[in-house]
Amino acid sequence: MASYPKRVYPALTSTIEVDPAGDLRLLVQHGEQQIIFQVSSKAMSLASPVWRTMLEPAGPFKESQSDSGEIAFPDDDSEALLILLLACHLRFQDIPQELWYEQFLNVCILCDKYDCIALIRPWISRWQAHQLHLAGPVIHGEWLFICWTTGDQATFERVARYYVKTSLADVWKQFIDRPKLLDAAIPPGILGLPWSLPLPGNSTNKLAESIFEARLQTLTKLIELSYSLANRRGPNKQSLHCVSNDADSSEACDDLSVGSMTRQLEAIESPVALWPGVPGDIASRYNQTVETLSRHLQNMVCNIYPRGHHKHCGFVAALDDGVKKILADIPSGMDDSHRRHMATQRSKLSQSHSLLGQLGRPRQPPPLKEKR
């Protein structure tokens, strides 16, 4: 995976007046430069329960104890914080219609940190669609966090399955050179490692199956599939691969078919031989990806009996169909607790009539009348 390019911060004016009449000055680090956002503490309090607690005069945060009218935000990305402040100050015309991928990730990190995902509801679909369109076949692991924050379960599962198929045995090492990925709080258990950071909200729930565990399960199924087809006879002693009516040559046809499979399993390059052995043990020591093993299996050729009606014999069709079914059923690594969390995030983004309901039943616009 490519690392992020070094970020270049343009020089900005020392003070950005998000609210020219604002009563609060936020001290923010922008690269090597410190800048000031002049804002309204009331607008911030309405936008985020975390900001509200932070700004309460008698609150537990040390920031609220300051009499200077200034609060430092040294750890927050300046661009992402400014986007959230523009939203909560109704400066919608100043919010960009497209974001770079890293900008979108940083916005989601702050939305999680300050519990204010509803602020960016009008822009989420556009930003996400734009990034997925640009990404094409490239999927970054940080999408797990973006989807976790925005409640996008479908994309979360797609990204998780992508990593099940493309991760090596040392899956966790692929993320060590991605500090943004580690800092962003990848859902715990997704890599099956103790250093996976807690889910937002300090959730102690772990994903039912990590990417590593799902990878191991999928590899085991693929190897078990090939072993099941390497048997010379079925449970009722019937021929497994030969579909010819020639009883005299069916056993020889099966022998050729099985022999060609086992030789090809032995020839697959891997630190551990794929044949013979115990599928689960082999899978635990196999250091290539699920995609690689699947490709090896689907590229196998079958030797069949050279004489008679045997051109439809062999294991190729059964092996190919079995591999496709296993790949279609790869687990995503999610459990019900994580689905509930994403449902909660989606509910924060859904329109609500709770306040209008205090005035009575919300009035619905009359239906449109068809023109005659």
End of a domain among 307, 328, 349? 328
Highest mean pLDDT among 19-23, 104-108, 148-152, 184-188: 19-23
* Residue 64 near residue 58 (C-beta atoms within 8 A): yes
In the predicted model, is pLDDT for residue 305 greater than 60?
Answer: yes
> In terms of Cα–Cα distance, which of 278, 250, 274 is closest to 264?
274
State which residues form the domain around 309: 217-328
Q: pLDDT tens digits for 17-64?
A: 999 999 999 999 988 889 999 999 999 999 999 999 999 877 666 665
In the predicted model, is pLDDT for residue 360 greater than 70?
Answer: no
Work out how many domains the chain is built from and give that number.
2
The answer to whether residue 239 sits within a structural domain is yes
Looking at residue 197, what is its pLDDT? 36
Looking at residue 63, what is its pLDDT? 60
Q: pLDDT tens digits for 216-250?
A: 999 999 999 999 888 755 555 555 677 666 666 77
The answer to whether residue 187 sits within a structural domain is no
The answer to whether residue 60 sits within a structural domain is yes
In the predicted model, is pLDDT for residue 271 greater than 60?
Answer: yes
pLDDT tier, 2 (very low <50, low <70, confident <90, very high otherwise): very low
pLDDT tier, 363 (very low <50, low <70, confident <90, very high otherwise): low
End of a domain among 121, 138, 155? 138
Looking at residue 341, what is its pLDDT? 85
229 & 118 share domain: no
Looking at residue 193, what is its pLDDT? 33
Residue 123 belongs to a domain with what CATH number? 3.30.710.10
Higher pLDDT residue, 359 or 192? 359
Percentage of residues in the chain with pLDDT exceeding 90? Answer: 32
C-alpha–C-alpha distance, residues 122 and 124, integer Å: 6
In the predicted model, is pLDDT for residue 291 greater than 90?
Answer: yes
